[in-house]
Amino acid sequence: MYRYDEFDHAFVSARVAQFRDQVERRLSGEIAEDAFRPLRLMNGVYLQLHAYMLRVAIPYGTLNAKQMRMLAHIARKYDRGYGHFTTRQNIQYNWPKLSDTPDILTDLASVEMHAIQTSGNCIRNVTADHFAGAAADEAADPRPYAEILRQWSSVHPEFSFLPRKFKIAVTGSEHDRAAIQVHDIGLQLKKNDKGELGFAVWVGGGQGRTPLLAKKIRDFLPEEDLLSYTTAIVRVYNLHGRRDNKYKARIKILVHETGVEELTRQIEAEFVHLKDGELKLPDQDIAAITNYFAPPALPERPEGWANLAAWKKADEGFARWVQQNVHPHKNPDYASVTISLKPIGGIPGDATDSQMDLVADLAEEYAFDEIRISHEQNIIFPHVAIADLEPLYRALQPAGLGTANAGLITDIIACPGLDYCALANARSIPVAQELSTRFGSAERQAEIGELKIKISGCINACGHHHVGHIGLLGVEKKGAELYQITLGGSADENSSIGEIIGRGFEPEKVTDAVETVVNTYLAIRTHASERFIDTYRRVGPQPFKDALYGPSSKAA
C-alpha cells in the first residue's frame, strides 16, 4: 500500500498542528463558532445530535493492521469503544470531545491517516473496488489511480470550495463493485484492443434528493490523461455548477440541465488546453505509485483445495460462509474474504475496539497485513490462502465476525439515521436490526439469494436506498416516522434507480411490508437462480404493489 513520503508526513503534521491551535483558540473563546465551523469540518469534525462526530478517511478503503489497531485505540481511548464504517469506506466516531480531536489526529498521523476532506465542498475520499488488486476479474488494480487522484485533490487550491461536495469512485473490473454510476465521477479502469490501460469515464451520477445515474462521456481515456481530464471536468463544474441552490449544486444537476452533449463539449474543450501540460502523467510516475500497490508475494498453497472440501463437508456453517463470503482471487490458491459487519440483529457497519484489534491480528496472521473496507460496510481480507480459510473462520466466529451473509438479505447497508445524525428524519438502525432478525435464518437467506436492502434515514441517501434492490427511506410525517419503499434499484454495472412503490409504512409495519415483497418475489420468480432484481426487471412493480396494497392499486 501507499506509504507517506517526507512531504506527506510534513503536510499532515503541519495540518494537525494548525488544527490544534484552532481548537485551543476555539475553546478559549478566541474564535467564534461561525468562524470555527468551516475549520473543524475541513478536519472531519461534525456536530451531531448527541455529540461531535469525527469522520476519518480510509483512502480507497485500504489499510493495514497497524492502522486498524490505531482505529481500535481511538475508539477505546477517546470514544465509547466502537466505530462505524461508512459507505465511503471511512470510519466515524460518534462521541469524541472537541478538546480531544487534536490528540486523535496526532495519533492518526502516526499511522499515516487523517480526517482531511471528509467534509466540505471539496473532493472527498476516493473510493474503489474493495477487491482491488486481488479480484480474478479485474483489468488492473484501480488503487494506484485512486492514490494519484488523492494526491492531486488533497487541498487542491482550485477545488477546495466547489459548488458542493464531489465524489469519485474507481473500479478495475467490468463487474462494478464500487457503484461508479452513482458518483460525480465514476472511472472504470480497462484495457483497449492494444492492451493499453485507460478509463471509461462516467459523470453526473448521484443519489440524495435527485437521484440520477451517471452518463458515460468517454469510453477510453488513456491513463496518462487521468488528471488532465478530471481537472477539465471539475473545472467546468466549478465554473458552471449552481451555487444559488444547495439542492441543485451537484454536478449531476449541471449535467441534467446543460445536457450531456453540451457539457461533454465544454469538458473536451477544456481538456484540449490541459492535455499535454503539466498534468500529463509520466509513465514512470504511474509505475512508481503502482509499485506501492504491488500484491504480496503469495507462496504456493495447493493443499488448500483438498482441505477445503473436507472442512466444508464437516461443518455446514463453514460451508455457507465459504459460499457467501469468499470471493475468487487472481491466484487459484487464494481467495478474498468478506468479514461481515452485519451480524444477525446487529448494527450495520459498527465494530468494537476489540473486534478491530482482532481483525488487525488476523490480517497479520492470515492476510499479508492487508485490510479493506467495502462501501457495503464490511471488512475485506483481499489475500487469504484457501488453506487458511478454516482457521480464519474459527477465529472470526466467536467475535461475531463470522456471519455468512455477504450479498444476502441481511447484508444491509444502513446510515446512522436519527439515532445519531442531525440531518436524519427517521431511524435506520432499528429497522435494519428488525429486518436482519426477521430474515436471519441461514436457510431462509439461502432460499432468497442475492438481495440488497439499503436504508437511509433522510433524503440525503447516505444509506444508498435509491440503489437498493429494496430501498427504505425514512421520512417524518405528522411527527412520526414513516418508511417509503423503493424497488428495483441497483449499483453495479447495470445500475438503476429504485421506483417508489406506494405509500409509506409505519415503523411497526415496515418489516412485514418487506417480507410481503420478498414472499411475492419468491412466489413469482421463474427459478431459484432468478435474483430479486432480475424478477423485478422482468415483471415490474405491479405484482409487488398488488401484494402490498391490494389488487386494485395502480403502479406508483
Which chain residues interact with other proteins by CB under 8 A?
Answer: 26-27, 29, 32-33, 47-52, 80-82, 94, 96-99, 345-347, 350, 352, 418-420, 424-425, 427, 429-430, 433-434, 476, 479-481
Name residue 531's amino acid: R
Q: Which is nearer to other proteins, 32 or 297 (CB)?
A: 32
Q: Which is nearer to other proteins, 28 or 245 (CB)?
A: 28
Name residue 56's amino acid: V
Residues 319-334 as b/e (b if ≥16 CB within 10 A, e otherwise) read bbbbebbbbebbbebb
Write the CA distances from 271 to 31, 165, 221, 250, 543, integer angstroms. 42, 22, 11, 21, 48
Would you say how long the chain is, in residues?
556
> Cell triple for residue 455?
436504508
Q: Which is nearer to other proteins, 23 or 442 (CB)?
A: 23
Q: Which is nearer to other proteins, 37 or 66 (CB)?
A: 37
- With residue 533 as reference, give the H or E element that holds it: helix 532-539
Question: Least distance in Å: CB of 90 to other proteins?
Answer: 18
Q: Which is nearer to other proteins, 213 or 426 (CB)?
A: 426
Query: How many of the other CB atoms lie within 10 Å of CB of 556?
Result: 15
Question: Least distance in Å: CB of 84 to other proteins?
Answer: 9
The Cα 378–Cα 166 span in angstroms is 23
Q: Which is nearer to other proteins, 95 or 334 (CB)?
A: 95
The Cα 470–Cα 517 span in angstroms is 9
Residues 536, 466, 54, 422, CA torsion sign? negative
Question: Least distance in Å: CB of 512 to other proteins?
Answer: 16
Q: 463: buried, middle or exposed (CB in 10 Å: 19+, 13-18, 0-12)?
A: buried
Question: Least distance in Å: CB of 419 to other proteins?
Answer: 4
Question: Least distance in Å: CB of 366 to other proteins?
Answer: 25
Q: Which is nearer to other proteins, 443 or 508 (CB)?
A: 508
Q: Which is nearer to other proteins, 72 or 182 (CB)?
A: 72
- With residue 549 as reference, give the H or E element that holds it: helix 542-549
Query: How many of the other CB atoms lie within 10 Å of CB of 432?
Result: 27
The Cα 483–Cα 449 span in angstroms is 24
> Cell triple for residue 94?
460518534
Q: Which is nearer to other proteins, 366 or 483 (CB)?
A: 483
- Of the candidates 201, 251, 243, the residue with the CA atom closest to the CA atom of residue 221: 201
> Cell triple for residue 403?
456471519
- With residue 23 as reference, give the H or E element that holds it: helix 6-27
Question: Least distance in Å: CB of 195 to other proteins?
Answer: 49
Q: Which is nearer to other proteins, 373 or 429 (CB)?
A: 429
Question: Least distance in Å: CB of 343 to other proteins?
Answer: 8
Question: Least distance in Å: CB of 422 to other proteins?
Answer: 8
Question: Least distance in Å: CB of 209 to other proteins?
Answer: 19
Q: Which is nearer to other proteins, 270 or 481 (CB)?
A: 481
Question: Least distance in Å: CB of 79 to other proteins?
Answer: 9
Q: Who's near 179: CB < 8 A, 6+ residues apart?
A: 127, 169, 186, 375, 464, 467, 491, 492, 495
Q: Which is nearer to other proteins, 22 or 336 (CB)?
A: 22
> Cell triple for residue 483?
418508511
Residues 405-419 as b/e (b if ≥16 CB within 10 A, e otherwise) read bbbbbbbbbbbbbbb
Question: Least distance in Å: CB of 424 to other proteins?
Answer: 8
What is the SS3 assignment for 238-277?
HHHCCCCCHHHCCHHHHHHHHCHHHHHHHHHHHHHHHCCC
The Cα 410–Cα 401 span in angstroms is 14
Q: How many CA atoms lie within 13 A of 427 on its CB side?
A: 13
Question: Least distance in Å: CB of 492 to other proteins?
Answer: 29
Name residue 416's amino acid: P
- With residue 223 as reference, give the H or E element that holds it: none
